[in-house]
Amino acid sequence: MQNLYNVNVAALEVLPTPEEIKQRLPLSETAADTVFQARETVKRILDRQDSRLFVVVGPCSIHDVEAARDYARRLKALADEVQDTLFIIMRVYFEKPRTTVGWKGLINDPRMDDTFHIDEGLQIARRLLLDLAEMGLPAGTEALDPIVPQYISDLIAWTAIGARTTESQTHREIASGLSMPVGFKNGTNGSLEVAINALQSAARPHSFLGINPEGQSAVIRTLGNGYGHAVLRGGDRPNYDSVSIALCEKALRDKKLPVNLVIDCSHANSFKDPAMQPLVLRDCTHQIMEGNRSIVGLMIESNIGWGSQSLTADHSQLKYGVSITDACVDWETTEKMLRETHAKLKTVLPGRNAG
């Protein structure tokens, strides 16, 4: 009978339950208030009750938590400076989808050496999220593994479903039960249909297999998430231009969905060239100044240092604050981008929803 199951499984390791991890790293009142207020702010922006834009900005992925804390302190000061026009959420991505192979992110492989100490990764991730929330800086992430949200979602203000997983039934079901607004990216080829189908699906109730806080298998029954929205990240070509946005607006209206768009300034919209991100942001800003009402949010891949670097076995050789996944703009450019956007939109956005 042994040759009928787990033939290709080398080992099974029992993880601490979500409840056990949360008891070790409990949510403070300050952190809970940061997350709750941030979620409510994003909802008000999506409902057009808050005229600001929300901006998800930060490293492509987190691999050095001390550099992430350093970045967060800088971002919090900048967020306070531009808060009348831009609502800043730090991009805190712990999981990386892979087309073939590669580092899978801080939760899966926190030591970056293919040892996959996932129990350690979950606690490191939760500790960092607690630190950010306690300093008053909300976090956004990508939901990739269906189990991970049970461990950290109480600390997440905004969630993305990535281009590779927007078409996945599992991720649409997860999104239907998440407690925060969720952005669905268009497909890797630029297809809007998969994102629109995902929005329709996630808004409805679902029942699916998952785990409860005690780690037991459970049937999760959801109410549906009414705060889904599309994220345009480009595909075979960029799709942040006014024509592409008009086509997306029409597609959303045709399906009687809210016309709320987030523009990802990186990925295919920038041809993965960080030098293009400021140009994408500038174009979107000008569209808003010229009357666009559908762009409610922006995404920027940003780090302390410019570009990216390869992950090597000798971690001491890694440059501080430089991405080991997609290339990012540096901190100086980030400040310039956000301050320029703030200056251009601070007198435009207040009258936008009433116009």
DSSP secondary structure of 261-282: EEEESSGGGGTT-GGGHHHHHH
What is the CA angle 230-255-297, rounded to 5?
20
Region 93-99: what's the mean pLDDT? 83
Q: How many domains does the chain have?
A: 1
The 10s digit of each residue's pLDDT in 52-89 is 999 999 999 999 999 999 999 999 999 999 999 999 99
Going by the DSSP 8-state scheme, the letter that residue 257 receives in this structure is: -
Alpha helices, DSSP H, located in the chain: 18-24, 29-46, 65-82, 118-134, 149-152, 169-177, 193-202, 242-254, 277-289, 331-345
- Quick check: 355 pLDDT over 80? no
Mean pLDDT of 100-125: 93
pLDDT averaged over every residue in the chain: 96
What's the distance, Cα to Cα, between the start and end of the chain in Å? 70
Q: What is the distance between the alpha carbons of residues 13 and 120, in angstroms, rounded to a whole number?
A: 13
pLDDT at 2: 73
Residue 187 included in any domain = yes
**Between β-strands 158-161 and 182-185, what pairing exists: parallel, antiparallel or unpaired?**
parallel
pLDDT range class, residue 102, cuts 50, 70, 90: confident
Is 158 inside a domain boundary? yes
The token duo for 295 is 């762009």
Question: DSSP secondary-structure letter at 161?
Answer: E
Could you give the CA distance from residue 295 to residue 259 in angstroms, rounded to a whole number?
9
- Residue 268 sits in a domain whose CATH number is 3.20.20.70
Identify the pLDDT of residue 99.
Answer: 62
Q: Whole-angstrom Cα distance, residue 277 to residue 58?
A: 13
Cβ atoms of 277 and 301 within 8 Å: the answer is: yes
Summarize pLDDT for 2-26 with one digit per residue, the tens: 788 889 999 999 999 999 999 999 9
Q: Is residue 124 part of a domain?
A: yes
* Per-residue pLDDT at 353: 81
Kindly state the DSSP code that residue 17 receives in the 8-state scheme: P
- The closest of 71, 142, 157 to 329, measured between CA atoms, is 71
Q: Hey, is 59 helix, strand or coil? A: coil
* Residue 205: inside a domain: yes
Q: What tokens does 325 get?
A: 């996944």
- Looking at residue 20, its pLDDT comes to 98
- Domain hosting 232: range is 14-350
For residue 101, pLDDT over 80 is answered with: no
Question: What pLDDT digit, counting tens, does each position of 315-352 carry?
Answer: 999 999 999 999 999 999 999 999 999 999 999 999 88
5 within some domain = no
pLDDT of residue 100: 64
Q: Which residues contact 168 (CB under 8 A, 6 or more apart)?
A: none
Would the pTM of this model clear 0.85, i.e. be above it? yes
Give 66-101 as a DSSP string.
HHHHHHHHHHHHHHHHHTTTEEEEEE-------SS-
The whole-number pLDDT of residue 82 equals 98
In a domain, 41, yes or no: yes
Q: Does a structural domain hold residue 167?
A: yes
Measure the CA dihedral 152/334/261/327, to 10°.
-70
| Residue 107 belongs to some domain of the structure | yes
pLDDT (tens digit per residue) in 165-221? 999 999 999 999 999 999 999 999 999 999 999 999 999 999 999 999 999 999 999
Comparing CA positions, the residue from 12, 83, 20 lying closest to residue 215 is 20
Mean pLDDT for the stretch of residues 244-271: 98
Backbone phi, then psi, for 30, in 5-degree steps? -65, -45
Tokens coding 92: 């805190």
